[in-house]
Structure 1
Amino acid sequence: MKNINRFLENSHRTDLRGFNMDLYGRKDIVFEDNHPDLRRQGAKPEANWAPPSPGLPGIFILGHDTNVADVLTLTLTVEGKDYPTVDALTVTRHRWTPAWTDTYYRTPVEKDVYPCAGTLCLREKKCITRRDVFCGEITLQNALRETRHVKIGVKMPFTWDEQAGAYPFRCTVATAAAGGAYQVEGYAAVCIDGKPGCVFETELAAFSTVTFRYGMTIRPEAVEAQQAVQEVLCQKDPFQANEDEFNRWFDTYVPRLETEDSDLLKVYYYRWFVVYHGIHNPVEIIKDHKIPRSSIYESRYGGWFGGPIGLPVPWQIEEAKWMRRPEFLMDHMTNWMENLVLYQGYIQFSPWAIWHAYQLHPDKKWLEAHYEDLKKYMATQVDVDDPQPRITVGSWGTGAEYQPSFYQHTDILNGGEKWDWRCDCEGHDVLGGFPVSKLYRLDEQTYTIVSLKGCEALAREIGQAEDADKFRRAAEKLSGIMLEKHWDEKTQMFYDCEVSQNLKCDEAACYDSFAPFMGGVAGEKYHAAFEKLMDRNWFRTDFGATTAAKNCPAYWPDNCIAGPVESSPENPHYYPCSWNGPVWVYANSIVSDAFGCAAVQNTSLRADWLNYFTAVTEMHFPGGDRSTPLVTEQYRPDDGASNSVINDYFHSSWLNPFIQYYLGVRIENGDVTFDPFTTEDFTLSGVMIAGKEHTFRQWHDEEGNVRREVSPKP
């Protein structure tokens, strides 16, 4: 497939994306109470996006979320009558691709002019280039038998500087993920048909057509900004040029997949699109930015999480390691090694992911340069000379707020009832000094163990045998403790444990009950746990696994806490990131990987893994529509409706389990294995492993036998 841009085309999305400059087009979260038509029509894919509008109205991203909205809007005047371009024009046709959008609008019906339709058609094609230049092309078509005077103005929320021929630009970028607040100052150049200016006027003859281009960019100096805009506007076809550049990026960085499964093909290239637009280099815009090189964001939009966040960093590394060229991956891992801003925040297993990435893109000099950084991080997680299980204080630091296992034993803490959700950070800090629950958590224990295993392997790569042995012994000791302490023989499940009395949270099985299978820490002896994963009375849904088992007294499928104590379905406690039941994509990344590791060992699990992964893939199609794949944070378990407001949210992994398990391409200690779980025909080509390009092909011969081929041969 050559044209990925057109393959991802749809008519629902309305966002516009450059490298550091974006128009964010998400509507409010879709709930029944403010969308009563959903009861009759169901959730539509277009409900995820604001309607198309000319220019750049709405939330403006420049490196990160900014305090500027409606940064570039258009005014339309026909024969002295003003038409609001955002609210008054009717959208009659719309196309979206990652590289450009193309939209037709029509003026409102005026019964005294023509009672059946508006009489002016405005078409706008627009893009933001990889160098953050906005370009728009407007075509006006007169649908009357008379000449009309038409004027279009380009407005910015600043004062035009006549001498500079540009708008003095100033905005504040403030997000915790960026390390604070920054001021961006410079000039926003606006050009029409290559010349500085903000008004286009024409006498539009009967049934005639006129086209002009306009553009905008932001640079430190006005002349520099004008030149950047003019270079784009004078291109023969800037939109095709932007499409060509987008497709070149995919040719350069993405292994090519061929398969007859259209769902998998669509999600495969969509998830690479998520990687593509998760990569930014904000220091190009914000000179004093605390991250001096490119990075991968959790989200472009958001006052807290609009940038790199520690929780998903290992999943992002696992996804990006499959890039054919590693420069963006190496920058991301270097940022983590240097502990920039929030890179090492939350709980995570980045050393394990870095080891996996290193096997595809080995760089011994880089590893030697950052080895002490790696050791320094592990020293904050565990004393390798005396390893003890980590205690998790409250659910906030895990990124899994209100996970029910924290509350099964709250009666021990407060002398009151079990399941008191107030015994957490919010209850302590906001609601009145409640005690904060503590757990020995399965995901945090597992993350520590696999991180130690990753450090061991990386240490051996550069001859640090003594350190490697320490990492190994610590991992072995912690593994033994976890498997003995957290496994429940009666129910055949792993559970988190309460700290003070070492009580299992055996009424609160959660997604991290499957974390011990990551990296093969828990072996075949424990594989009966996956029967619960596939049981619809426990975790199974049509869209992946729930974050908490459905038989847990604190389970609730929506984005709130609804009991069993101190809240109820009639009087819920709303919280936008509740992990007490909704299907979180992050949680399903853990389950996909853990289940896949187990199915590598135990082939009898592979059919169930494929069934489960099909459900995770289905989660990417909002409303069931195949044209517009989308990943957000979390979903309702019963109907797959999104519970989240942020689109293309990059805090999960789909590409890695798809390639490693579904397609069966795995690398361990330098050895390449080709062992697909699927029996379907496919070809994955252009996979770079240690500098060599590989192709993996599976097909059926004339007798119906499955054949496999790796080129070059391992």
Structure 2
Amino acid sequence: MLSAGSTAHRAPLLTASPYEPLQPVEWETRFLPSAKDQFDNQWLEHYVPSIDCPDQQLVEIYNYRWSVVRRHIAYTVPETGYILTEFVKIAGHAGAFGGIVAATGHHIREARWLRDTSVVDSYINYWLKGPGKPVARMYSVWMADSVWEKYLIDGDAEYVKTMLPYLIEQWEGWELDGKWNKELGLYWQVPVWDAMEFTIGSYQTSDPYHGGDGYRPTLSVYQYADALAIARIANLIGDVQTSDIYTKHAENLKSATLNNLWNSTQHHFFHVMKEDNPSHSHLDGKEQIGYTPWYFNLPPDDSEYAESWSYLFDPNVFWGDFGPATAQKDHRFFYYEAETCCRWNGPSWPYSTSITLTALANLIVNYQNHLHVNKESYYKLLSAYTKSHYKNGKPHIAEALNGYTGEWIYDAWNWSEHYFHSSFVDLVLGGLFGIRPFANNATGDITLELKPLIPDVWDYYAVENLQFQGNLLTILWDRFGTRYDNNCTGLCIFQNGKQVYHLMNEVLPAHIIVPLPNIERNKPLRTVYNSCKNLASNPQRTPNFTKISASTSDPAHPPHEANDGVILHDEIPSNRWSSQAGTGDSWLELEFTAPIKNITAVDIHFYTDLSVHLPLSYELFYWSEWWWGWGQWNVIPNQLRVFEKPVAGELNRVWIQPGGWESKKLRVVFSGVAGGGVGVTELEVWSACDDGYKTTRHEGMVLQNDEE
């Protein structure tokens, strides 16, 4: 018999948090409150560095953008692990399990600041040697450069070394795909496969969506940066020959980009049409992508090139109070048909604004010639971008907006919300706060360098418990020593809880090399993201993998949305199971392909809203079969619950001592269910790596169509 609510085998609470520590607790400092958002605040506290500064709107959006990252961390299957997604729902043009490579560079740069980057490793593996590989070049992407930038933060040299052959294969694949023009020394791309459809160039062809093939300051520039990253990684393993080859590739691409895409009269990088353009003349209008070369420090440090930046803040060319336009405002196709998605002929796209902000930061801190811009310019653009992150007074991001009014114009209901197609965290930590580690070209040794771009009027800023080479850093700037309770005036830096640097100065220097003590890189301790197998997940609803069923279901919220690898506490976009209203006590049941044993934890992510409420209690059962379908449900023994009662908006983890039972079925029974029913956004069942459970191999679903 099934006895709901039984507590006979329940042990006391294990911990106040569902997450195990990533680093020893004594390494942390506690000057700031933890990052907070609407949901998953314990995840934010555990994985995210917190910040402080006088701009509280920026702090709010920084925290919100971390919650966007959280929403897009999706579990696939044990063979693949975690990926990061662009949409919270699987798009028709996505690869296996919903991966879309278009914004992968942004994803990696953003998530590299997590205190545990194993989820990023899993994501990179997905593209380079996993089920995402068949569509890893569906869109232009700067893959190797992003992997290198991750290395500069987490210091995981062994991982980046192992990825070298896969990064080379990805780089060389663009030529095999037919995108290389040997005569010009450039790659060509179709704007739509730059993730930029309906441009001022493509509108000048017979097919505005697919047209506009050209040599653009995108793919060739990405390949330049990736070649440099490959050369640097080759240096780490002492492969001088490969390093020299890819350094030469980068030099050639730089020369070809400057020779062919730079317009010395209009002082901007331009798209050059590939077809019917024998003289390789430049497009008849400027686009925001002309700033992309500075994202990778490609242009020379010369006043001629710096002149391009005079256009960015010119309201007659690109500037908008909520974000720059993607094309110059006086072009005949500017905003043409822009009322329908997805036009890159004027609307402001966070994807491009992110690139331009990083490019601008590079120009200011790495170049002598930046006459038209300074650190106040960076903060002005970052503030406009921050201000754009609202809808109806609440933090929000979608696909694109009107840069003049701040109205989100490409914001499909139950689809575009919390769109992960850009960066923000990286722009704050790496840009505004200037955390810019660099590596020795010969040895790969990483040095912490600070080049902050904070406004001169700020008297303080802080970032706390930032993961750097597996250790924790806290950086405090307190001009007068009155903001933080640590008796520190000026700049103070803590490493693993101990102060290691102090600069008593009322003026924050523009460039600081921090002499951190020599320590070995520390790998994160066991966490959610390196738990071995989630046996419940079946995101593609493969028939021969784990099945899920329920006592009852709201037709709009079926059971399979509770084991699709996506954790989403929002009402919209929706991704959850909920029981049918008025049916009382309910259950969710998982049926596995083989008996499970050695289960280590069960995670329940409850969903609540004005109608759907938490149950009063729940219990975990396994099925014990006697004969031909006859049997009984038994309470899973040796449970250690993080929360004695169900908690909304957080991970409800039940630790389970492995052994003593095995079963092909697991059931969660919810008792004390109110009239509106009970909801679960995700149910996860974790096992040890050596549990003996054999999963049925998932064939990677690769779907490609032309819907962006």
TM-score, normalised relative to structure 1: 0.58
Match of 1:520 among 286, 294, 297: 297
Partner residue of 2:382 out of 599, 613, 620: 613
Q: How many angstroms does 1:443 deviate by?
A: 1.2
Residues 685 and 694 in structure 1, CA contact (< 8 A), matched pair in contact too = yes
Q: 1:338 to 1:231 in 2, by over 3 A?
A: farther
Equivalent residue for 2:569? none
Query: Hey, what does 2:452 align to over in structure 1?
Result: 676
Greater CA drift, 296-305 or 499-508: 499-508
The answer (yes or no) to whether the contact 1:687–1:693 under 8 Å persists in 2 is yes
Report deviation, 1:673: 1.2
Alignment of 1:703-714 (within 5 A): 707-711=490-494, 712-713=500-501, 714=515
CA separation of 1:677 and 1:231: change in aligned 2, threshold 3 A: farther
Aligned to 1:632: 398
Query: What is the CA distance between 1:706 and its match in structure 2?
Result: 9.5
- The match for 2:152 among 350, 359, 381 is 359
Q: Displacement of 1:293 after TM fit?
A: 0.9
Find the counterpart in structure 1 of residue 354 from structure 2.
Answer: 589
Cα–Cα, structure 1 residues 260 and 610, in superposed 2: closer, same or farther, change >3 Å?
Answer: closer
Say if 1:632 and 1:642, in contact at 8 Å, map to a contact too: yes
Query: For residue 364 of structure 2, what is the amino acid of its counterpart?
Result: A
Q: Could you tell me how far 1:710 is from its partner in structure 2? A: 2.9
**Residues 458, 613 of structure 1: CA spacing in aligned structure 2 closer, same or farther, 3 A cutoff?**
same
Report the CA distance between 1:439 and its aligned residue: 0.8
Q: Residue 503 of structure 1: which of 280, 283, 287 is its match?
A: 280
Cα separation, 2, equivalents of 1:240 and 1:687: 20
Give the secondary structure class of the aligned counterpart of 1:583: coil
C-alpha contact (below 8 Å) 1:395/1:424 kept by paired residues: no
Residue of structure 1 in register with 2:63 after alignment = 269
Q: Secondary structure of 2:201's match?
A: helix
Deviation at 1:424, TM superposition (A): 4.6
Deviations 1:245-286 (A, max 9, x none): 9333222211121223210110111011011111011327xx
Superposition map of 1:174-323 within 5 A: 194=5, 246-283=40-77, 292-304=80-92, 307-323=98-114
Deviations, residues 631-660 of structure 1 (Å, cap 9, x unaligned): 111001221111221101111111111111
More displaced stretch, 534-543 vs 275-284: 275-284
1:578-617: CA deviation from partner (whole Å, max 9, x where unpaired): 1111111111111111111111124752221211111111
| Structure 2 SS opposite 1:280 | strand
**5+ long unaligned stretches in structure 2:** 20-35, 440-445, 495-499, 502-514, 516-708
1:472 aligned residue: 247
Are 2:128 and 1:337 equivalent residues in the alignment?
A: yes
The offset of 1:519, in angstroms, is 1.7
Structure 1 SS opposite 2:51: strand
3-state SS of 2:493 partner: strand
Q: State the match for 1:666 in structure 2.
A: 436
1:702 & 1:650 partners in 2: Cα distance? 38
Distance 2:220 2:348 in 1: 22
Offset of residue 703 of structure 1: 12
Q: Is the 8 A contact 2:438 2:447 kept in 1?
A: yes
- Over aligned residue pairs, what C-alpha RMSD do you find? 3.5
Post-superposition Cα deviations, 1:153-186, rounded to whole Å, max 9, x if no partner, equal xxxxxxxxxxx99xxxxxxxxxxxxxxxxxxxxx
Which string of whole-angstrom CA distances, capped at 9 and with x for unpartnered residues, describes residues 397-440 of structure 1?
Answer: 11100111334xxxxxxxxxxx34x33555xxxxxxxxx44211
Structure 2 match to 1:404: 200
Aligned with residue 467 of structure 2, among 664, 681, 688 = 688
Q: Answer yes or no: is the 8 Å Cα contact 2:201–2:212 preserved in 1.
A: no
Instruction: Kindly state the Cα deviation for residue 297 of structure 1 after the two structures are TM-superposed.
Output: 0.8
Cα distance, 1:339 vs structure 2: 5.1
Q: Quick one: which amino acid aligns to residue 352 of structure 1?
A: D
What displacement does 1:296 show? Answer: 0.7
Counterparts of 2:183 and 2:236, CA distance in 1:
23
> Cα deviation per residue 1:51-87 (whole Å; 9 max; x = unaligned)?
xxxxxxxxxxxxxxxxxxxxxxxxxxxxxxxxxxxxx
Q: Secondary structure at the match of 1:709?
A: strand
Shift of 1:484: 2.0
Question: Can you list the C-alpha shifts for 1:433-481, whole angstroms capped at 9, x where unaligned?
Answer: xxx4421111112111111111111111121111011111110111011
Identity of aligned pairs, percent? Answer: 19
Matched, 1:654 2:452: no
Q: Which has the larger radius of gyration?
A: 1
SS in 1 for 2:77: helix
CA gap of 1:453–1:706, structure 2 versus 1, over 3 A, is farther
CA shift for structure 1 position 348: 0.6
CA deviation after TM superposition for structure 1 residue 503, in Å: 3.5
Q: Give how far 1:494 is off.
A: 1.4
Aligned counterparts of 1:668 and 1:346: Cα–Cα separation in 2: 28
The one-letter code matched in structure 1 to 2:471 is: K
Counterpart code for 2:59: L
2:570 paired residue number: none
- Residue-pair matches, total: 447
Please tell me the residue identity of whatever aligns with 2:56: S
Distance in 2 of aligned mates of 1:368 and 1:665: 24
Amino acid at match of 1:308: G
The answer (yes or no) to whether the contact 1:558–1:581 under 8 Å persists in 2 is: no
Match of 1:84?
Answer: none
Residue identity in the other structure for 1:617:
T
Q: Is the 8 A contact 2:186 2:257 kept in 1?
A: no
Whether the 8 Å CA contact 1:558–1:636 is kept in 2: the answer is: no
Q: Kindly state the Cα deviation for residue 294 of structure 1 after the two structures are TM-superposed.
A: 0.8
Task: String of CA shifts for 1:320-359, please: whole Å, max 9, x gaps.
Answer: 1111111111111121221533344200101101000012
Contact 1:674–1:710 (CA<8 Å) still a contact in 2? no
Deviation at 1:370, TM superposition (A): 2.6
State how 1:378-397 maps to structure 2 within 5 Å.
378-382=171-175, 389-397=185-193
Hey, what does 2:338 align to over in structure 1? Answer: 559
Residue pairs, 1:535-550, within 5 angstroms: 535-550=314-329
Which structure would you say has the larger RCO, counting Cα contacts within 8 Å and 6 or more residues apart? 2
State the match for 1:448 in structure 2. Answer: 223
Q: Kindly provide the amino acid, as one letter, of the partner of residue 272 in structure 2.
A: C
Deviates more, 1:310-319 or 1:333-342: 333-342
Distance 1:468 1:235, change over 3 A: same
Q: Which of 302, 307, 310 is the matching residue for 1:531?
A: 310
- Residue 393 of structure 1: CA displacement? 4.7
The alpha-carbon distance between structure 1 residues 517 and 245, as it changes in their structure 2 partners (threshold 3 A), is closer
From the superposition, tell whether residues 393 and 368 of structure 1 become closer, same or farther in structure 2 (CA, over 3 Å). closer
Residue 524 of structure 1: how far off its partner (Å): 3.1
Instruction: Output the amino acid matched with 1:363.
Output: D
Deviation (angstroms), 1:305: 5.6
TM-score normalised by structure 2 residue count: 0.58
Contact 1:259 1:682 survives alignment (8 Å): yes
Q: SS state of the match for residue 289, structure 2?
A: helix
Distance 1:662 1:467, change over 3 A: same
Match of 1:639, SS state, is: coil
How far apart in 1 are the matches of 2:349 and 2:39? 33
CA deviations 1:92-129 (Å, max 9, x no partner) are xxxxxxxxxxxxxxxxxxxxxxxxxxxxxxxxxxxxxx
Asked whether 1:423 is paired with 2:207, we answer yes
Cα displacement (A) at 1:691: 2.1
- Whole-Å separation in 1 of the counterparts to 2:299 and 2:142: 17
366 and 391 in structure 1: CA distance in 2 versus 1, 3 angstrom threshold: closer
Letter in 2 for 1:708: L
Q: Helix, strand or coil for the counterpart of 1:533?
A: coil
